[in-house]
Amino acid sequence: MILSASRRTDIPTFYSEWFYNRIKEKSVCVRNPMNKYQVSRIDISPEVVDCIVFWTKDPAPMLSRLDELRDYKYYFQFTLNGYDRDLEPNLAPVENRISTFKSLSERLGSKCVIWRYDPIIITDKYTTEYHLRCFEKIATSLKGYTKKVVISFVDVYATKNKGNLTEAGNKFLTPNRLNDFAKQLADIARANDMEIATCAEAVDLEFCGIKHNSCIDKELIESIIGYSLKVKADGQREGCGCVKCEDIGSYNTCIHGCRYCYANYQDDVVKEMYSRYDVDSPILCDEITADDKVTDRPVKSLRDGSKMAGQMSLFDL
């Protein structure tokens, strides 16, 4: 099983103590977003978890306890943008988070910390020129600390983030301008020894060396764990290259307050959910009630038994 922590919220920043408690208990509960009375209990012991994928904008709160994950393999998707507080109101300065990125990379290795520069929002303030300057500044700072940068252009959802993006003055690039912009981003990435890829983008940018990305990446996970995996594609959105995973987060629990977010877009609900946070609860920002139907989700390791080339076992020594 591949564990996602989490596309829905920033567990490393806000809920690392809860997460470490779940690791200690080797179990976590997740409420079905489509059926609030349906709860799955998931075994997260090292025997069944092949890899953990963390999604975060600031994992500093969890770094001092990484030794508690010694029985697990994992990597980080680490978002670093250059927006001001009008779009990212509750984030630490980007310079601080770059320092955290470097510390994490020094500990885990550059392939296990992936830089995300996303979503890209174009406005009168955040022009393509603005993004190119910011992207180059961050890329230069991270040279040698990551092997990949992932970009995406903001998705607009009518009932979730459209109002905030309209207020910000969101604009769409023409195909020619987008291609030119993408090529310049790719040139900067290559100059800093980084592969560049898009996340869930239908647009084809292969002409400038930008590939479609797999954020839950089978090949990367296999290289980290040293074994081949037998896992199916997921494809949550058009253009998504991810493989199947189990996400243990909850929507409307992230308090970064980013104005473009479509997973945590109801401020009053976010505040109410956050007030429920209990580090000892089996479920994030929630509790199990008598009305809930709790079932054990069948999970298992996805290893197919084949070692990756270059990997050794005790029997090879």
Q: For position 22, what pLDDT does the model report?
A: 98
CA nearest neighbour of 90 among 276, 286, 251, 270: 270
Q: For position 317, what pLDDT does the model report?
A: 34
In the predicted structure, residue 307 carries a pLDDT above the cut 80: no
C-alpha distances (whole Å) from 292 to each of 31, 124, 275, 299 are 9, 48, 20, 21
Q: For position 240, what pLDDT does the model report?
A: 83
Tokens for 253, please give them: 């629990």
Beta bridge partners of 5: 54
Q: For position 198, what pLDDT does the model report?
A: 95
Tokens for 288, please give them: 């199990």
DSSP type of residue 304: E
At 308, the pLDDT band (50, 70, 90 cuts) reads: low
Q: For position 157, what pLDDT does the model report?
A: 84
Give me the phi and psi of 140, to 5 degrees please. Answer: -65, -40
| CA angle, residues 177, 179, 181, in degrees to nearest 5 | 65
Backbone CA torsion sign across 242, 263, 6, 128: positive
Tokens for 12, please give them: 């490393």
User: Is there a cis peptide before residue 6, judged by omega within 30 degrees of 0?
Assistant: yes
Predicted TM-score of the model (pTM): 0.94
In the predicted structure, residue 315 carries a pLDDT above the cut 80: no
Q: For residue range 228-260, list pLDDT tens digits in order.
A: 999 999 867 777 889 999 999 999 999 999 999
Q: For position 158, what pLDDT does the model report?
A: 86
